[in-house]
Structure 1
């Protein structure tokens, strides 16, 4: 599917209620399935990735009723899952594959996890390694240790593991495997990655605690053997700040724009983008702060203004890893240079996001350079007319949405064309519809 984007002369005004958080939607299904009893989930994100997680648990014998964004999950308990009749297809979802590896490592039956061509190229050794230290038996394909993953029954034991990277997926896999052990597992990462797993497991009765040490190291301790209880009442998934990020950015591409984003998740491990926007000179307000299911949420109000470049590096990177492509796009209209460092993780996402961003920008005549662990973008110092061209999404949802926002600089007579734009369904199926409605001055709730 090809989509044409333009926005020159338009203004973005209105209210948008962003779709449910992808990371939390995955975990809400997983943890509810492992609980003893049923859980009602509202605000679930029905994206391709999250539907892959739902299908995997249904294949493992978990009953799930769905009506739009509302689910009822009938939990089977940690030992109630059933052996699947075939391979478990994770689609394009790295979250599904990596977290399920942790869950299935302690089950009394074998499992095979597979996915699409893109997922089967992504590295899995980083999650396999700590699980092997816990006694898991996991086999991978080829020298690059990729999927399919063959998981065999094993008796797991608690361990102490220090990760060289801050990765929420690796951390979550270890914590979920630890539920099947006796004793205490200790997981340490260089800086705190998104902590939805820790927060949600704590609410459900797991004995888990986090300490931040001098220098920023995060140490998470979890005791095995807990029985997870269902979420009390209805579990409401907050809006995804990663999805909201594209509309935050859009405000700064269209002079006179004002936008209220409702029900945005404001978990501190995910709000790095707000800190960077502040450094770039953006003005925003957080309204109606509240806590739902252990997660902070609120409404964000933003208005158009001029931006200046900044450096994004160090401990903040895990807190905005998914937002780096759109922050690079904001660098295009900023005054001065925007530099992204310490982000080699971008190379092993759905695409090599460093290369994808830089190559597309260069094809548009914008000064951008790839570095070993990031990129440099020389900003234009404000809004400018952009000549439309074809750009590749690299079949990566975050690249497609990021360059859609850059396309707002184009005129209707010379729009930007995004190739393979259907990939946005991975995280935000209604992205183009919502953008079009807001450009027409409509509220999207």
Structure 2
């Protein structure tokens, strides 16, 4: 259970204005990829700003199991001495990816074209999630997968002995599936082609190019076509991980709904494939501004200033925006509960297969706290109560999902009565400093053990 032997019940109490600087951790997506691509180089990759949440630390352990040297120095920088493309060694033990769907799917891709076998498992949440969406395209390279019914972990992956390049059209928008196929393509001869109907976060493409891979991205017939030439010699890099926009979402959204708040969140990555939430919040009338816009490590970055915004209104979020903010819909629904009118979210069926069924989890918790929610297979709507009018007062189940937990802790800060969680332990998987960071801004979050 996210590294915890027992649940950690929490309570978030209505608080005064939030103020100060919220220095959120490094980007989780880039942190995972830095460790994996560093392992696929020969030589040393140096990483600063790595997110040290449980998800990423589990990926670091996995890279050690596959033969890389991965260490943190006294100054906080991480060093990866890689084994090169195709250089993975067979692990001696089962690879435990904890709660991380990103970690396990990317690692499966990276090892799937090496002639080795590995067994993967995770916590109760991860072991309930579907893996066929990744193992099906990996089978095209020649890899074999044997898992539990429904394509679930624990699962054994037998890497391809003689991998072949593939041409694969991703059936649903998924950066994890796309990235797994591209990472597998690194050790296949010839060109591997991935086709997306809708653009998803493009960190893998950007980072592969930065590490020296031959990769092109083109628009063809309204689709995004990514072509990767296999078996390159990747070059070690010095990587400064930008701060995570998905983590920034929590202090930003809390500031928007807690009266009198003014919070600055510096150095946030604003990759266009990740910034959908901030665009949506501004459309709702949020007082959210970008300051000191710049580029770092090939990624657009800015400081975000969020101020209390009592006049926000519900909107219909375009379905085509879902891929750029899929992890942020839970906290968006909390903002929507504090806005006026109805917020409609469509094209979000991916939320059904995250760490939990996030639509169901949020709908249950919001309803328990006095908010009207309607939902379907790939849509949901939240009817806002208006600023300061959310009743609160309920205990909610987090379903071992870090984003559900943090979203309801933010709800409690602005509700009329405190909101309780059955278990806040999963927060550590992605945002290990969430509690002290929010307390430093003025939040009142307490553990009930």
SS, match of residue 269 in structure 1? coil
Partner of 2:164: 157
Matches within 5 A, 1:371-390: 371-384=376-389, 386-390=391-395
- Alpha carbons of structure 1 residues 79 and 158: separation in structure 2 relative to 1, 3 Å: closer
* Alignment partners' CA distance in 2, 1:214 and 1:404: 44
Q: Secondary structure at the match of 1:270?
A: coil
- Number of the residue aligned with 2:256: 252
Tell me, yes or no, if the aligned pair for 1:200 and 1:293 is still in contact at 8 Å: no
Q: State the alpha-carbon separation in 1 of the partners of residues 418 and 342 from structure 2.
A: 26
Q: What does residue range 158-197 of structure 1 map to in structure 2 within 5 Å?
A: 158-197=165-204
Contact 1:386 1:409 in 2 (8 A): no
> Structure 1: how far apart are the matches of 2:419 and 2:116?
50
Which of these residues, 268, 290, 295, is aligned with residue 272 of structure 2?
Answer: 268
Q: How does 1:422-441 map to 2 (within 5 A)?
A: 422-439=425-442
Residue 293 of structure 1 and its aligned partner are, at CA, apart by 2.2
Identify the match of residue 364 of structure 1 among 360, 365, 369: 369
Aligned mates of 2:102, 2:424 — CA distance in 1: 21
Q: Tell me, what secondary structure is at the counterpart of 1:379?
A: strand
Shift of 1:214: 5.0
Contact 1:97 1:113 in 2 (8 A): yes
| Alpha-carbon distance in structure 1 between the residues aligned to 2:169 and 2:182 | 13
Alignment match of 2:282 (pick from 278, 293, 297): 278
Q: CA deviation at 1:196?
A: 0.5
Which ranges of structure 2 fall in alignment gaps of 5 or more residues? 1-7, 445-449
Q: Is the 8 A contact 1:33 1:75 kept in 2?
A: yes
Relative to structure 2, which stretch is displaced further, 372-381 or 422-431?
372-381
Residue in structure 1 matched with residue 356 of structure 2 by the alignment: 351
Secondary structure at the aligned position of 1:302 is classed as strand
Structure 2 partner of 1:317: 322
1:46-66 Cα distance to aligned partner (Å, 9 max, x none): 111001100111111211111
CA drift of 1:113 comes to 1.5
2:200 counterpart of 1:200 = no
Residue 7 of structure 1: how far off its partner (Å): 2.8
Contact 2:369 2:390 in 1 (8 A): no
- Of 341, 345, 355, which residue of structure 2 is paired with 1:340? 345
Confirm or deny: 8 A CA contact 1:163 1:189 kept in the other structure: yes
SS in 2 for 1:75: strand
Alpha-carbon distance in 1 for matches of 2:173, 2:392: 39
CA distance in 2, matches of 1:86, 1:387: 46
Match of 2:42 in 1: 36
Matches within 5 A, 1:230-249: 230-231=236-237, 234-249=238-253
1:220 aligned onto 2:223: no
Give the distance between the partners of 1:386 and 1:400, measured in 2 at CA.
18
> Deviations for 1:94-143, whole angstroms, at most 9, x for unmatched residues?
1111111111111122111221222111111111111112222222222x
What are the Cα deviations for residues 189-208 of structure 1, in whole angstroms up to 9, with x where unaligned?
11111111100010110011
Give the TM-score, by structure 1 length: 0.94
Aligned to 2:30: 24
Aligned to 1:104: 111
192-201 or 101-110, which deviates more: 101-110
Distance 1:315 1:369 in 2: 20
Q: In structure 1, what is the Cα distance between the partners aligned to 2:159 and 2:282?
A: 49
Counterpart check, 1:405 vs 2:410: yes
Cα-to-partner distance string for 1:361-414 (whole Å, 9 max, x where unaligned): 111121112222121111112222634221121221000000111101246xx5
Question: What is the SS of the residue equivalent to 1:244?
Answer: helix
Superposed CA RMSD in Å reads 1.6
- Listed as ranges, the gaps of 5+ residues in structure 1 are none
Distance 1:365 1:256 in 2: 24
Matched residues in 2 for 1:387 and 1:248: separation? 20
Q: 1:285 to 1:385 in 2, by over 3 A?
A: closer
Given the two structures, how large is their TM-score scaled by the length of structure 2? 0.93
SS in 2 for 1:45: coil
Q: Secondary structure at the match of 1:336?
A: strand
